[in-house]
Chains A and B, each alone.
Chain A
């Protein structure tokens, strides 16, 4: 019985972009939603390649960065995207925000709401925190990474990059390898790419690749060598053994042997195979250093695309709504 759920919609849908007030995750959206963001991002990509990169589009709008976890790349990418569109930005929230201080997160939100702002960009170590905030504000909430749940803008920039490299997202065969369980980037990519019919293989220590992910439309492989020739994209995820709280696997040595994209594996890969990593890379663990040039070319493209995708999101959620009536 679900007594409570009946009372309100899970995803507040007051509006702005294709019926969504917020961008909380790719789990909830459809293919057209993603395509429209990616198309808009291509438009902005042209703009940022111009000598004068600034547009007046979001003049008078206020964007709030609410980052409760450390971030340099995502934060600066969002900040740049907002500034390129002439929005005002402020930054609140620190790593230190905790119950001990006595002010609830909702108190904090209401306080900032009272200053009249338009959009929050939220990163938090707890899954679902952006959802909680979204339900309690009329402003738009963009999820910039929540716990082990989703990181939709990162997945969108990955998808934009793949779409550029392959001409479309129709024929993607991707192997995501590593700590799937704790990777919000992997999850958002699974949710997003599966909507375009991509074939998604997951690999890693069985403890870090939940069987339940089959239900999300992915296939689990135990031996990565079985699929290396079959896939055209490999996404290696960062392994942080020292931060894992349970004995998910015995050692880095074992990990590298079975799941690392080693020199030997690289040599067997087709040169067409795209290597991705959400970064920062632990060289010699997830990827051997020989992969550096191949990965770096993609990474730099991803970084540029990241600004364009985030501009598209800000634009579509803040302005697109009004134009669409």
Chain B
């Protein structure tokens, strides 16, 4: 039997109130025991003195680009990036080429994930065939083979009847909405605001998102379906979601690290590195997002990890694609710029990256450090600083490239498999 004994680490698992220096004994793929001074002669011992142990992070929203865009990222590099960021489970969005809209493509993602054998990659199937927004994809066949949710991410299901039927047809699976009325956002590239007019850049009003969320919430009410709002970016969106929750609709929501960290002000440099969709909004929006996360109106943090090759981002604002790299910097950047600056408490941050995503998507035995749960852990030195470079991802489209962050990962344990991140 494979055993790992992690000694002297500080365990922080806020959902079940562990905040202590304790040992963890892992047997095979699960946590056998948590306690003081555990001894086991057969176990491989890891000295975690001075280190902090969090539950493995769960990312409900990544773009791993395989199949079709392997020059940006693939399941191998994406899994390595996930592990290097402390993520043990990541959900892969289906806007690949071909899209993940059939049971065969779902199977392909799972098979590739197994071959790589690092973070667990769980496929999100497309809601509609070819992500065209017209006909439902084979949702139950995909679910049977392992799709855990459905989304046409990148596009909103603009046809209300199609969205309604999707919510009705698979009532127990999250329908993840990329809420964007594209007839309003058009070719905008940043938040529409006095600043966008000052800079002479075409804007995307936050109403393009809010209109879409409002419709989706109303459809969730009509169908009692399970709706999850991706990458919430504005204060107005938070208000609509709060209202939905107050009516006990089955609605959850996520926010990205970049919307918590940055504002539209960054676009003053006209640098496409900050071109993301939905766009970075105002400081007022950013503050509302942080508050909503603390209040539980936004349930969790999901990265929207969106790798793009350098040559694509070293372009003009109109042609450069939307998206920012996240997996490897998500925790450290949030820790450095929010937790250490007292804008967000570590408890909310860890809950939002582990327990909450597992809870809202119904994943069993992950998301906290508990006896009997899967041994999915990330082990950090929260005092160590590191410079963002030599990432495992194939792309480097993060504004933190070359910058220093605090909080360095040491080990990721995925289903009992120990990964020394320095040797990854």
Contacts and interface: CB of A to CB of B under 8 A. Distances in A.
B316 A105 contact: yes
Contacts of B159: none
A127 B198 contact: no
A247 to B, nearest CB: 11
Given A1-B263, A184-B200, A245-B187, A132 B268 contact: no
Interface string B115-130: 0000000000000000
B239 interface: no
Interface string A141-165: 0000011111000000000000000
A124 B319 CA distance: 11
Contacts of A128: 199-201, 269-270, 316-317
A1 B198 contact: no
Interface in B258-297: 261-263, 265-266, 268-272, 274, 283, 286
A216 interface: yes
A104 B314 contact: yes
A103 B266 CA distance: 25
Contacts of B269: 4-5, 8, 10, 128, 131, 135
A107 interface: yes
Contacts of A264: none
Interface residues of B, number: 37
A128 B274 CA distance: 13
B318 interface: yes
A1 B334 CA distance: 12
Interface stretch (A48-56, A207-215, A285-293, A304-312): A207-215
A150 B201 CA distance: 11
A132 B272 contact: yes
Interface in A1-36: 1-5, 7-8, 10, 27
Contact of A2 (B265, B313, B403): B265
B263 A2 contact: yes
A107 B312 CA distance: 11
Interface in B359-416: 399, 403
A129 B263 contact: no
B337 interface: yes
B182 interface: no
Interface in B308-331: 310-320
Nearest to A212: B197
Interface residues of A, number: 40
A300 interface: no
A24 B55 CA distance: 49
Interface string B159-202: 00000000000000000000000000011000000100111111
B200 A99 contact: no
A263 to B, nearest CB: 34
Contacts of B318: 125-126, 147
Nearest to A150: B200
Contacts of B286: 1
Of listed A132, A135, A150, residue having the most chain B CB within 10 A: A132
Given A104-B312, A126-B318, A149 B201 contact: yes
Of listed A7, A102, A106, A212, residue having the most chain B CB within 10 A: A212
A1 B261 contact: yes
Interface string A257-297: 00000000000000000000000000000000000000000
B152 to A, nearest CB: 23
B186 A246 contact: yes
B193 to A, nearest CB: 8
Of listed B198, B199, B316, B343, residue having the most chain A CB within 10 A: B316
Contact of B317 (A5, A127, A213): A127
B317 A129 contact: yes
Contacts of B261: 1, 3
A10 B283 contact: no
A5 B268 contact: yes
Interface string A169-192: 000000000000000100100000
A212 B310 contact: no
B311 A103 contact: yes
B311 A104 contact: yes
Contact of B319 (A1, A126, A146, A148): A126
A-B pairs, 6 with minimum CB distance: A128-B270, A149-B200, A126-B316, A104-B314, A212-B197, A104-B311
Interface of B: 186-187, 194, 197-202, 261-263, 265-266, 268-272, 274, 283, 286, 310-320, 337, 343, 399, 403
14 contacts: A1-B263, A3-B262, A3-B266, A3-B399, A4-B269, A5-B269, A10-B269, A104-B314, A107-B314, A124-B316, A128-B269, A128-B270, A212-B198, A215-B194
